[in-house]
Amino acid sequence: MLNVSIVLYNNPLDEISLLVKSLRESEVVSEIYLIDNSPVRLDTLDSLPAKYIFNNKNLGYGSAHNLAIRQTIEQNVPYHLVLNPDISFEPNILEKILNFMNNNSKIGQLMPKVYYPNHEIQYLCKLIPTPFDLIFRRFLPSSWMRKRTYKFEMRATGYDWVMDVPYLSGCFMLLRTSALKNVGLFDERFFMYPEDIDLTRRIHRKYRTVFYPEVSIIHHHAQGSYSNLKMLWIHTVNMIKYFNKWGWFFDQERKDVNRKISKQVFSK
């Protein structure tokens, strides 16, 4: 009923093993794909109850997940879960989420509530970003951006009710396979970072993209581009590609969607 793909790049073996073990404790999981972009093959991963695919090069995040998603489509499995390796959760949440998806056929994508290990909420429900939200703010003091970030991350909602969100994080993307057949897979022009924005946005055009706080996960999140100059460069280049595709300052769809979502959620 559900296939899972996890893209790896030099991740700790114990982290991967725990996640696979947790997934295998769920009765709804069919195949688990470990797509390895690391420079060196980790042979011990062959022993895990998952399909291990070593790419022998770094294909990028979206391209690697697409390898598994295509298998899900060929197998006619109704759902595909894109998952970060640094995620942990109780296995029974998957059955709860699928029940909700099965009862709401217009939903194309879903993300649960996400916490840091210290149980603080991660604010991963966002409006469609402008260049100011994704590029320019990186070089400005956070105090200057507080009010704008509060709105962009939809914090006024309290993150405590089911709501439609046009940009959901790529750390946990439960995707309806029929929606992917309709709108397409990850855009492989993006090596890293904006592929989740792009895909959620395309799904949101035709389906509901939903935040579902009835269940939660833990995300051991590290913002590599804030501390690593190489990652910052990769982040910036790919964001430029994203805005070249969708529009920098003249993006009517972004304006319309953000206005509609803001009207819906902030009037609650």
CATH code for the domain in which residue 47 is found: 3.90.550.10
Each residue's pLDDT tens digit, 240-259: 899 999 989 888 999 999 99
pTM of this prediction?
A: 0.93
- With 0-12 CB in 10 A as exposed, 13-18 as middle and 19+ as buried, what is 80? buried
Is residue 98 predicted with pLDDT exceeding 60?
A: yes
Q: Mean pLDDT of all residues in the chain?
A: 91
Q: How far is residue 206's CA from residue 246's CA, in Å, rounded to a whole number?
A: 17
Give residue-wise pLDDT tens across range 12-44. Answer: 999 999 999 999 999 999 999 999 999 999 899
Residue 266's pLDDT is 67
> Could you list the residue range(s) of the whole structural domain that residue 122 is in?
2-265
Task: Determine the average pLDDT of the residues in 124-149.
Answer: 78
How many domains does the chain divide into? 1
Alpha-carbon torsion, ordered 124, 125, 127, 132, to 10 deg: -20
For residues 65 and 225, which has the higher predicted lDDT (pLDDT)?
A: 65
> Does the pLDDT of residue 104 top 70, yes or no?
yes
* pLDDT above 90 (res 177): yes
Reported confidence tier of residue 139, pLDDT bands at 50, 70, 90: low
Which distant-in-sequence residues (6+ apart) come within 8 Å of 70 by Cβ? Answer: 185
pLDDT for residue 135: 66
Mean pLDDT in residue range 44-60: 94
Give percent of the chain above pLDDT 90.
Answer: 77
Burial of 158 (0-12, 13-18, 19+ CB in 10 A): exposed
Q: Considering only residues 247 and 133, tell me which one the structure prediction assigns the higher pLDDT.
A: 247
Q: For 191-219, how does the pLDDT look when each residue is reduced to its tens digit (9 = 90+)?
A: 888 999 999 999 999 999 999 999 999 99
